[in-house]
Amino acid sequence: MVDTVNHAGLTMLSYHCHKLIPKGVSCVGVLLESHISFHTWPDEGVITLDLFTCGNNPLVPVVKTIKDLFGIPRENDTIGMQWSHELRGFRNKEKVPNRGNDNYAVLDHNSDLSLMVWSPIDCPIKEQIVSKLTKFQRVDIWDLVGLEETPSHNDALKHNLQPGDPRWHTAELVSPTRMLFLDGTLQSESSSQKEYHEALVHAGMFSHADPKRVAIVGGAEGATLREVLKHKTVDSITMIEIDEELIDISKTYMPFMSDCSDFVGRSENCFDDEILDLVTKDAKEWFIDRKANQEKFDVVIVDAMEPEASSAISKDLYDTAHLEAILNSLTDEGIMAIQIGRAPTILDPRPDIGFNAPREALFKNLEALDSVEAMFVYEDPHCGFSEPRAFMIVCKSETCRRLFYATSDEIDYEIYSRIVKTHSKIRALQYFDGITHLGYQVAPKAWETTYCRREPTPFECSYRHLDFKKPIFEFNFDSEEENPFKVTADWEGEGEDMYISNTHVFANVDIPKGSYVMPEHLASSLSLSQKSIENLKETTEYGGVSVIEDFVTFIEKFGHKSKAEGTQRTLVEIGASYLIQEVEKKEDANIGRWIPPHPEGRRPNYSPVYERHRLSFDVFAVATQDIAKGTELLKYKGMWEEP
């Protein structure tokens, strides 16, 4: 006990020990800084020790000393140790962290390092690998195994675990998770870093048709670089990382992050690849200083601390000047991908206040830039953090919307075409695929909920749900008597040459203003890609395909382009709604789109409401005025063309 106090740099004033009945011993030492105590249970081979101080010296380095001095094993036994570190007293949240103090910020009980490593006592393995202050930040790397963890698939293969082995249910054979913390904030875990970095990189890369030149902001671990190097289309990578020491630490203690040895045509270590230009400078200054005539990037990936982190080296990365400089460095079809921290929940407050305020400021900065045409948010729950991680793709052209909303088959084909082969024959992408990307295409409702808490409330938020107070008038094929609509036709010609020149739909009942008109029929509209329509037209050039020619004519007459610009999809009415007559003047119509044109004349470049409900907004129609029984339904010819 005395040696522990001395190694900790503390001062022992006095101590007292006494024997326990029937076995064991208890000791208490009074320190100048506070106290130390321990109790023993010889039969169980257990010692519990408490060390409390009011001093400035950190106690975590003393853990090894305690283990060496008190961890005396029985014969043929290994030492088991579980420990917890907590701060006493109350934190002053207004106090600015002092970088001159080795304990700055990360000792705070709110830091990831404290919550995930130091505080939990249910960890049979908790080993510090690195704790270092670089010129820019504090770096901590730990190995951790939780008491309730069980072996992974790789652990089972490594130890040849067989069915019925009791070790399936214990942490005995679990490989430690190596965790990287920067300024106390978790950055990566060995157990989930593949999922995280594949989610960050590939959704953006596959939203570009042919990415050749890529820039990476941050990413000192090398994992983002590794993922970009999986793309055969890429022939130039510029990585801007301010902390050169962190790169070296990552290479030494987390080499798996920058391991490209399995990729055909790539270097053993990702940092040694010939297409990489590594720049150890401040990213903001580097982008702002770039000349306009320098070759532009197709994709920029920002793998820095999330916006809400109070890191000194990343706080300026998300201001307007830097964002504009990044966008200026992109081609006209360029894309920026950013990791933006934890995903929101429906319980979060208005986004410009509270924890999410820095992220909302980032969004507002991007939305205000004229060069930003589209923004998509998505999240992934498998990245190793306690909450799903959120990501954003920013596009300079609306054409990226078509690629972001590509089908799973299209994404899988692009993966087959673009991704490098491996020497091991194991797929280079172990997590990301077409179905995974499909899940990214619909942002969870929390994004819409928090977006609609903005003040003033965005226009489109009033159309997130159908109004249950409004009646629905559906075309009824089964019963003419119960059908709220009546269809008539104008016939021309004679005998066998007779044909229908026009159809008319009349109201069989009174239809109040705002009522939904044939929503089931409109929702079943056929959705066709522009490529599919072009293929149909090309087929007609060979002749003898009158059915396809008629179908193309039908598409041109009853189809309309999606208002989600860039998706290149056409919605074709195939239900009874296509029987409604069109009129040239809007004021003559009594049927209109469910969501009116945006009052600003164009849709916003960021709106999870428009993105989540794009199909509903593309097809649903309502009565724009009271329609009396016997009145013909009329729709404006250009109603689907308005913003």
Q: How confident is the model at residue 311 (pLDDT cuts 50, 70, 90)?
A: low
> What are the DSSP E strand ranges found in 134-247?
138-145, 177-182, 185-189, 213-218, 236-240
Residue 513: its pLDDT value, please? 97
Which spans in 229-277 are helix H?
A: 244-253
Asked if 319 is an active-site residue, the reply is no
Specify burial of residue 450 (Cβ count, 10 A radius: 0-12, 13-18, 19+).
Answer: buried
For residue 492, give the 3-state DSSP assignment: strand
For residue 57, give the 3-state DSSP assignment: coil
CB of 511 closer than 8 Å to CB of 590? no
For residue 302, give the 3-state DSSP assignment: strand
Q: Which of 618, 535, 516 is nearest to 571 (CA)?
A: 618
Tens-digit pLDDT profile for residues 379-403: 999 999 989 999 999 999 999 999 9
CATH 3.40.50.150 in the chain is located at: 191-457
Residue 104: its pLDDT value, please? 47
Which helix (H) or strand (E) element contains residue 469?
Answer: none
Under CATH, what is the fold of the domain 1-81? Answer: S-adenosylmethionine decarboxylase (3.60.90)
CA 16 to chain centre: 56
CATH 3.60.90.10 in the chain is located at: 1-81
> What angle is formed at CA 193 by the lines to CA 329 and CA 305, rounded to 5 degrees?
45
Which spans in 160-313 are helix H?
A: 193-205, 223-228, 244-253, 283-289
Measure the CA–CA gap between 178 and 135, rounded to whole angstroms.
23
Per-residue pLDDT for 540 more than 90?
no
Virtual torsion, Cα 479, 512, 467, 451, nearest 10 deg: 130
CB of 59 closer than 8 Å to CB of 51? yes
- Set 112, 282, 298, 303: catalytic member: 303
Strand pairing class (138-145; 330-342):
unpaired
Cα 331 to Cα 177, 213, 239, distances in angstroms: 40, 10, 18
Q: How confident is the model at residue 473 (pLDDT cuts 50, 70, 90)?
A: very high
Mean pLDDT (whole number) for 211-232: 98
Mean pLDDT (whole number) for 288-302: 92
Cα 96 to Cα 104, 135, 138, 529, 569, distances in angstroms: 9, 18, 16, 55, 53
Mean pLDDT of the chain: 92
Mean pLDDT (whole number) for 528-547: 88
Please tell me what DSSP assigns to residue 474.
-
Measure the CA–CA gap between 52 and 31, rounded to whole angstroms.
9
Tens-digit pLDDT profile for residues 107-118: 566 789 999 999
Measure the CA–CA gap between 374 and 400, rounded to whole angstroms.
8
Tell which wins on pLDDT, 88 or 165. Answer: 165
Tens-digit pLDDT profile for residues 486-514: 999 999 988 888 988 899 999 999 999 99
Measure the CA–CA gap between 632 and 173, rounded to whole angstroms.
75
Q: Which of 642, 522, 630 is nearest to 576 (CA)?
A: 522
CATH architecture of structural domain 191-457: 3-Layer(aba) Sandwich (3.40)
The residues with which 472 forms a beta bridge, in sequence order, are 516
DSSP states of 433-462 as a string?
-HHHHHHHTS--HHHHHHHTTSSSPPGGGG
Mean pLDDT (whole number) for 368-375: 97
CATH 2.170.270 in the chain is located at: 466-637
Least confident of 96-100, 265-269, 295-299: 96-100
Least confident of 123-137, 145-159, 181-195, 531-545: 531-545
Measure the CA–CA gap between 612 and 463, rounded to whole angstroms.
11
Cα 464 to Cα 14, 131, 570, distances in angstroms: 70, 49, 22
For 466-637, CATH gives 2.170.270
Q: How confident is the model at residue 545 (pLDDT cuts 50, 70, 90)?
A: confident
Residue 480: its pLDDT value, please? 83
Mean pLDDT (whole number) for 143-165: 96
The residues with which 439 forms a beta bridge, in sequence order, are none
Residue 102: its pLDDT value, please? 44
